[in-house]
Chains A and B, each alone.
Chain A
Amino acid sequence: MLLNDPGAAHWPVDPARRDLVEEFRRKPRGPHSDELQKLLHRMRWSGVGQRHVLIVLEPNRRWMLGRLPGRRGAPVETFPNRVFTSLADAEWAVFVMRWEALTGQRIEETGDKPE
């Protein structure tokens, strides 16, 4: 059987590369530099822990943060107090969580808003 291995994405994340964080903060929807693409592949391939997703509240207008349970038939976990009105905001919010999970570093939610 040909399977996708969730552990296969192994690009080493350097916690010192805050420039990649700032690049993503400026442009969550891309286009992205080569190294930011690699960081995003690392984050997106496995989801880092259980995969965060969006749940559409209003088509193309409002989304709620959710998390897949990693098991068929189990409910999607929802976060009703985390609602986004732009996909860029949502991408940034999940990036912040994944960066912390990968590096142990918190990102202060200050600075420029995403485009």
Chain B
Amino acid sequence: MTDTTAVLGYAWPLVVSPGEEVAFHLSSAILESAEATLLRVRCADPDPDGPGLRFHQPGTPIDGPVPLRNQPLRPGSCALVPDAPALGRAGSLSLGLFFYPTAPGAGAQTILSRWREDTREGWRLALTEEARLELTIGAAGCVWSVTAPRPVMEREWIFVAAGLDASAGRITVTQESLDPQAGRDTGCTATAEGPRDPAWPADTALVIAAHALESGAAPRTGGHLDGKIDRPRLLSVAPDAARLRTLAENLTPHPADPDLIAAWDFSRDMSTDTVRDLSANRLDGALRQMPMRAATGANWDGRTVQWTEAPELYGAIHFHSDDMHDAGWTPDLRLTVPGDWRSGFYALRLRARQGQEDPVESFVAFFVRAPLGRPRSELAFVASTATFLAYANSALRLDQVHAESMLEGLIALSRDDVYLQEHRELGLSTYDTHSDGSGWCYSTAKRPILNMRPRGATFNYGNDTHIIDWFEQIGQDYDIIVDDDIHRHGAQTLAPYRCVITGSHPEYFSRSMIEAFDSYQRSGGRHIYLGGNGFYWRIGWHPTQPHTMEIRRGAIGLRTWEGEPGENALSFTGEPSGLWRASGRPPQRLVGVGFDAQVFTRSYPYAWREPARDPRVAWAMEGIDLDAPLGDFGLRGGGAAGLEVDRVEPTLSSPPHLLWLATADRLDYGGVPTLEELRTLHRGTMGDQNARVRADIAFFPTARGGAVFSTGSIAWACALSHNGYENSVSRLTGNILRRFLDPAPFEGFDT
């Protein structure tokens, strides 16, 4: 059994141009060294029934032994405010904030602190293991604490006031429920002896949602919180719950209030990692590990669901104890990509213990792009990096009740999956929930991604390499372009190519990406979509941080978690998220077909329809028997139509002059329609009874000689190599590609 996790790493940047440097950040807890080899990936799927792992080895200066070290991952988000004179003010101190705990009782968690755990000095407001609020003060070797008599309630807003009366030597903590009825009132207060005029520690950062383990402006942190914090306030007076509550309710506290140390407003600078202080002290902070912004505050009342319309209702940040967006590892290898390299899917292979029972073979993936405006081929294949990120380190099959039922059989875990079960510090995918049950809405590439590399899970990355393998087999040259660049540079990224192919599952699209494809297709571009469930979710990319995407799943669509009310607009852009279908751009309008169902029992062949005999598309059918099933073979379920499938749907804007060439509309009981397909509740919706559960193949010309061809099935790509690449799926794909690379316009269609 090959060990794929003894060494892990990530490449940064994830996407490079020839001539640019890529750095490999590696870590191993057990190996002292490994043998590194840089490879261009032809096929990343190890299935011995298919092409198998296939690579090209260009030879690079970094090929050879690489010493390894252990670089830990430190999950958990927080905000850090470096030490400042205003924070060290002597005398009384009080704090107030709105608080929404999401995992009370899951362990001790710090809410707000200026505390050094190594010396146990400073002050800290926390939740105890028993879910009770506790204020702790440490000074001169002594520790005082006061604990609320009642636990907080999960997912209920409370107002918290706490602090020290330094002249009386008393500490107090108070909680007030915002909905104190129907069993939800946890209001209480507690007072205990505290120090008189303690000396606060020097050089200690103020931390929101965690505490510092050490001194300094960027300390390691612990005690990470699961929950939302809204409008934290800090005063240099003895605690007065009523005054603190008024101050927190006030969205614009007077900055010159002489007692005001800090008043953070998390609704400012929403798309950044900065948290703003409204006080005259300007104690701005920086977020670490990307907690969820644009979260509803305690004052959110449903008058809007878009934070951009009333940001003052979105003054909360949802912190998670398992947020992980930047591993922060030191690089071990650097490579300047030679200027003459082909674009492609590339990977650094790391091997150790060869010839032993448990050999190590682990990959770190990256992409070499064709630089903007410098195409080397008439054909571009899109690396669906947005989708790869959305699925990065998916633990769906480990955590979610429905997984085995959905997949219609025993869950088969790879070595990577077994590792991920134990090592949640890698950070999960946007299909997963955090340990507090809330959805992961951000994903980044600054961490090892186990399922975006050779040998990894075959979905997405592995399936897409079957298309690359097919290009290599038929001698077709191609450029690789990536989602990140299509977002950033728009239609210019696509424009140089006669034909662009999107892969098995190009599911996640920003508005800029959708508009780029729309523009390309209207400008004479030819688009071949060889997948299923494409162009489905609406995402955002971080405005400044590369390879960082966001999704809010909302309340419709095939969603593994449901977005919270009011929290379904993107913090990165302010745009709505959710399905493109709900934003006026159903996939059918762009590519003729759109997601309608899953089928995991098995995959099916298509049957040709009458339009396949239309003489205007005779070029597509050369050498194909239109009386025989199309694709009754393949590596995914024994057919070309399966897993996730799309259909032609005129009511969702499939083009009027589209030719609906073939259909797989007998998907039996395993064909399960997607949620947004059901208006009303009734039986008879599965594929054995429902003709709208199907995969369709469609062709239509677009303006200025452009065209679109879509297969509507994830399983398609994994049927290309059947029978030594001699098969009807390969032949049809080849016929389409040849014609799409021919500039002659498509005759006989209305324009």
Where the two chains meet, the residues of A that have a C-beta atom closer than 8 Å to any C-beta of B are: 1-6, 29-31, 37, 41, 44-47, 51-61, 63, 66, 68-69, 72-76, 87, 90-91, 94
On chain A, the residues within 8 Å of B409 by CB distance are 29, 87, 91
A45 and B405 form a contact (CB under 8 A)? yes
**Could you list some 12 contacts between A and B, CB below 8 A?**
A1-B155, A3-B437, A44-B404, A45-B401, A45-B404, A54-B410, A56-B412, A56-B413, A75-B422, A87-B410, A87-B412, A90-B410
Instruction: Kindly identify which residue among B47, B424, B562 contacts A73, using a CB–CB cutoff of 8 Å.
Output: B424
On chain B, the residues within 8 Å of A44 by CB distance are 404-405
On chain A, the residues within 8 Å of B668 by CB distance are 31
Q: Kindly report which residue of chain B lies nearest to residue A63, judged by CB atoms.
A: B412
Beta-carbon contacts under 8 Å, B522-571 to A: 561-562, 564
On chain A, the residues within 8 Å of B399 by CB distance are 72
A61 and B48 form a contact (CB under 8 A)? yes
A6 to B403, CA, bound (A): 11
A87 to B411, CA, bound (A): 10
Instruction: Kindly identify which residue among A55, A60, A69 contacts B47, using a CB–CB cutoff of 8 Å.
Output: A60
B398 sits at the interface (CB 8 A): yes
Beta-carbon contacts under 8 Å, B394-451 to A: 395, 398-402, 404-405, 408-415, 418, 421-424, 435, 437-438
CB distance from A54 to the nearest CB of B (A): 4
On chain A, the residues within 8 Å of B400 by CB distance are 4
On chain A, the residues within 8 Å of B561 by CB distance are 1-2
5 A-B pairs closest in CB distance: A4-B401, A2-B562, A44-B404, A59-B46, A54-B412
Instruction: Kindly identify which residue among A2, A30, A91, A94 contacts B601, using a CB–CB cutoff of 8 Å.
Output: A30
Instruction: Kindly identify which residue among B47, B421, B437 contacts A68, using a CB–CB cutoff of 8 Å.
Output: B421
B749 sits at the interface (CB 8 A): no
Instruction: Kindly identify which residue among B1, B401, B412, B669 contacts A37, using a CB–CB cutoff of 8 Å.
Output: B669
A17 to B669, CA, bound (A): 22
B410 and A55 form a contact (CB under 8 A)? no
Q: Assuming the A-B contacts A63-B412, A87-B410, are A74 and B421 also in contact, with contact meaning beta carbons closer than 8 angstroms in the complex? A: yes
A53 to B395, CA, bound (A): 14
A59 and B422 form a contact (CB under 8 A)? no
On chain A, the residues within 8 Å of B408 by CB distance are 30
Instruction: Kindly identify which residue among A31, A45, A55 contacts B669, using a CB–CB cutoff of 8 Å.
Output: A31
Please count how many residues in chain B sit with their CB below 8 Å of the partner chain's CB atoms: 38
A76 and B413 form a contact (CB under 8 A)? yes
Beta-carbon contacts under 8 Å, B196-216 to A: none
On chain A, the residues within 8 Å of B412 by CB distance are 53-56, 63, 87
Q: Kindly report which residue of chain A lies nearest to residue B428, judged by CB atoms.
A: A72
B669 and A53 form a contact (CB under 8 A)? no
A59 to B435, CA, bound (A): 31
Q: Assuming the A-B contacts A37-B669, A72-B399, are A56 and B404 also in contact, with contact meaning beta carbons closer than 8 angstroms in the complex? A: no
CB distance from B689 to the nearest CB of A (A): 12
A59 and B401 form a contact (CB under 8 A)? no
A57 and B405 form a contact (CB under 8 A)? no
B625 sits at the interface (CB 8 A): no
A73 to B564, CA, bound (A): 26
A57 and B410 form a contact (CB under 8 A)? no
B48 and A53 form a contact (CB under 8 A)? no
A53 and B401 form a contact (CB under 8 A)? no
CB distance from B587 to the nearest CB of A (A): 24
A4 to B406, CA, bound (A): 13
Instruction: Kindly identify which residue among A6, A30, A41, A76 contacts B418, using a CB–CB cutoff of 8 Å.
Output: A76
CB distance from B450 to the nearest CB of A (A): 13
Most buried by B among A63, A72, A90: A72
B49 sits at the interface (CB 8 A): yes
CB distance from B75 to the nearest CB of A (A): 11
A3 to B408, CA, bound (A): 20
On chain B, the residues within 8 Å of A54 by CB distance are 410-413
A29 to B47, CA, bound (A): 19
CB distance from B394 to the nearest CB of A (A): 14
A91 to B409, CA, bound (A): 7
On chain A, the residues within 8 Å of B401 by CB distance are 4-6, 45-46
Most buried by A among B1, B48, B405, B669: B405
CB distance from A40 to the nearest CB of B (A): 8
A56 to B456, CA, bound (A): 12
B47 and A59 form a contact (CB under 8 A)? yes
B405 and A55 form a contact (CB under 8 A)? no
CB distance from A91 to the nearest CB of B (A): 6
B410 and A52 form a contact (CB under 8 A)? yes
Q: Kindly report which residue of chain A lies nearest to residue B408, judged by CB atoms.
A: A30
A29 to B603, CA, bound (A): 13
A72 and B601 form a contact (CB under 8 A)? no
Most buried by A among B1, B421, B561: B421
Known: A30-B601, A53-B413, A57-B1. 19 other contacts (CB 8 A): A1-B438, A4-B402, A30-B602, A31-B601, A37-B669, A46-B401, A51-B404, A53-B410, A56-B415, A59-B48, A66-B418, A72-B395, A72-B421, A72-B435, A75-B418, A76-B422, A87-B410, A91-B410, A94-B410
On chain B, the residues within 8 Å of A73 by CB distance are 421-424
A57 to B47, CA, bound (A): 12
Q: Kindly report which residue of chain B lies nearest to residue A52, judged by CB atoms.
A: B410
Q: Kindly report which residue of chain B lies nearest to residue A32, judged by CB atoms.
A: B669
CB distance from B33 to the nearest CB of A (A): 26
On chain A, the residues within 8 Å of B395 by CB distance are 72
A113 to B608, CA, bound (A): 37
Q: Kindly report which residue of chain B lies nearest to residue A45, judged by CB atoms.
A: B405
Give 1 or 0 for each of B131-156: 1 = CB within 8 Å of chain A CB.
Answer: 00000000000000000000000010
CB distance from B395 to the nearest CB of A (A): 8
Beta-carbon contacts under 8 Å, B670-713 to A: 670
A69 to B424, CA, bound (A): 14
A37 to B562, CA, bound (A): 27
Q: Assuming the A-B contacts A31-B668, A75-B422, are A56 and B414 also in contact, with contact meaning beta carbons closer than 8 angstroms in the complex? A: yes
On chain A, the residues within 8 Å of B423 by CB distance are 73
On chain B, the residues within 8 Å of A57 by CB distance are 1
On chain B, the residues within 8 Å of A53 by CB distance are 410-413
A4 to B437, CA, bound (A): 11
CB distance from B748 to the nearest CB of A (A): 42
